[in-house]
Amino acid sequence: MAALFCLQNNFFPLPKLTTPPSSTAKTLTSVTTRRAIIFGSSFTVLNSKPLALALAQLLPTDELQLQEDHVVQLFQDTSLSVVFIKDLELSKVPKSSSKGVVLNEDEDAKLEGTGSGFIWDKFGHIVTNYHVVAKLATDASGLQRCEVSLVDAKGNNFYREGKIVGFDTAYDLAVLKVDVDGYEIQPVVLGQSNNLRVGQSCFAIGNPYGYENTLTTGVVSGLGREIPSPNGGAIKGAIQTDAAINAGNSGGPLIDSYGHVIGVNTATFTKKGTGVSSGVNFAIPIDTVIRTVPYLIVYGTPYTNRF
């Protein structure tokens, strides 16, 4: 009944976003002016002395403010490296062209699922969960496509078709390649997962339910966990966290306080079929990713499949 639930967001009608990432960036610039509005109408006179006194004491300590600023900065620095992945199914096989199909969700393609991923290098390699792109990876019809929404280092949003470079069902990992000609993109900074400690802070960035660039926070809840892999085996050494991870977060990075990627958000333990975060959530450790991804990029297959 309850089950580990992979976090791809299938068949969900995406909300239209009101602000493109550039305007979000704009929102993030005005940092210093958090003040109370003393609302200047007769309806909201604020003359209660005890309250005024109480609120004077409510000014956060400098250190508390510094810590909030640190999390804000961490999000701003790392979210540029997180991508939004849409699985699309074309209604008919497109005519061949030299530049590939132009993706057009409304007319030509049906949205089949969404997930997250992150920029591995400046050549346009994207790491995500295998289960996010499984349909494309196993496509026999020629109708499956994958659209990647990226932000460049200047905050400009752009979309590219993602081509599968390689995947490893044993670790639920896949590598896509997108054409980034003319854009400078920002790869993640990789951390280590072999020296993590239960209790340290961690941060998930992804697109739960299609809400792009969502930040959720928590701690490392456990280490050395085992979660099921798409090939029926087990992924060992998984990181458990209470940072909220929901359907659509799959493939996005789990980050430490230094902005380093420590894992790939992959599963939550919840009632089957809901994808609703329980607070018992799992990421593939980055050490496993670091061992796996280069082989996928060079050979297109896992290390274990090459011999």
User: In the range 82-111, which residues lie near a copy of itself by CB under 8 A?
Assistant: none
Q: In this complex, which beta carbon is closest to a copy of itself, that of residue 95 or of residue 197?
A: 197
Element (H, E) at 114: strand 109-119
Dist CA 121 CA 177 (whole Å)? 10
User: For a copy of itself, what does the binding mask look like between residues 202 and 221, x meaning CB under 8 A?
Assistant: ------xx-xxxxxxxxxxx
Distance CA(94)–CA(87), nearest Å, equals 16
Written as six digits, the tokens of 64 are: 């508390």
- C-alpha 156/C-alpha 159 separation (Å) is 10
Nearest approach in angstroms of CB 232 to a copy of itself is 14
Number of residues in the chain: 307
| Token pair of 70 as six digits | 């640190």
Active site residue 250: yes
Near a copy of itself in 236-295, by CB under 8 A: 236-237, 240, 242-247, 256-260, 269-271, 273-280, 290, 293-294
Pick the catalytic residue: 172, 242, 256, 287?
172
Contact status: 73 vs a copy of itself (CB under 8 A): yes
SS3 state of residue 264: strand
According to CB under 8 A, which residues from 119 to 138 bind a copy of itself? 120-123, 125
Which listed range, 19-27, 89-97, 109-117, 139-147, lies at the site for a copy of itself (CB under 8 A)?
A: 19-27
- Kindly tell me which of 96 and 258 has the beta carbon lying closer to a copy of itself: 258
Q: What is the gyration radius of the CA atoms in the chain, in angstroms?
A: 21
Largest Cα–Cα distance in the chain? 79
Pick the closer one to a copy of itself by CB: 94 or 187.
Answer: 187
Q: What is the DSSP string of 75-108?
A: HHHHGGGEEEEEEEEESSPPPP-TT-PPP-HHHH
131 is catalytic: yes
Q: Are 65 and 73 in contact (CB under 8 A)?
A: no
Q: Kindly tell me which of 3 and 93 has the beta carbon lying closer to a copy of itself.
A: 3
Which residue lies nearer to a copy of itself by CB, 23 or 138? 23
Considering only CA atoms, which of 129, 154, 134 is closest in space to residue 207? 129
| Shortest Cβ 42–a copy of itself spacing (Å) | 9
Please indicate whether residue 181 is annotated as part of the active site.
no
Residue 18 contacts a copy of itself per CB under 8 A: yes
Q: Which residues are catalytic?
A: 131, 172, 250
